[in-house]
Amino acid sequence: MAIKARPFKTQVGDVEVEGFFEEEDFCVVIEEYPDDARGPSCLILGHGMEHRPIHVVCSPKPHFLAIITAYLPDRGEWSDDFKVRTKR
């Protein structure tokens, strides 16, 4: 599944994220959380500047996409393409 995304600017910890899906202009759902307490949500993988992988947990709402959290995935916890967890 692919989700079209619009560029935006935000702060993730100490990292300012700008032009979020610059490389491909889309993101890929890699995990789904249908029973999340905040409502159905999913983990998406996108790439930022310099091809840096970024994970975003989001929840689709009727008129917008709610961003729950965003982070830079740890190479030790994910497959080489950052799509599959190797540790939990």
- Give residue 50's pLDDT: 77
Residues 59, 85: Cα–Cα separation, whole Å? 20
Summarize pLDDT for 45-61 with one digit per residue, the tens: 988 777 889 999 988 88
Q: Is the pLDDT of residue 18 over 60?
A: no
Buried b (16+ CB within 10 A) or exposed e, 54-86: bbbbbbeeeeeeeeeebeebeeeebeeebbeee
What distance in Å separates the CA atoms of residue 15 and residue 63, rounded to the nearest whole number? 27
Output the pTM of the full model: 0.69
25: left (phi over 0), alpha (psi -120 to 50) or beta: left
Angle of CA points 67, 69, 10, to nearest 5°: 70
Assess whether pLDDT exceeds 50 at residue 15.
no
Q: What is the pLDDT of residues 58-72, one digit of tens each?
A: 888 877 778 899 999
Return d(Cα 52, Cα 45) in angstroms, integer.
Answer: 10
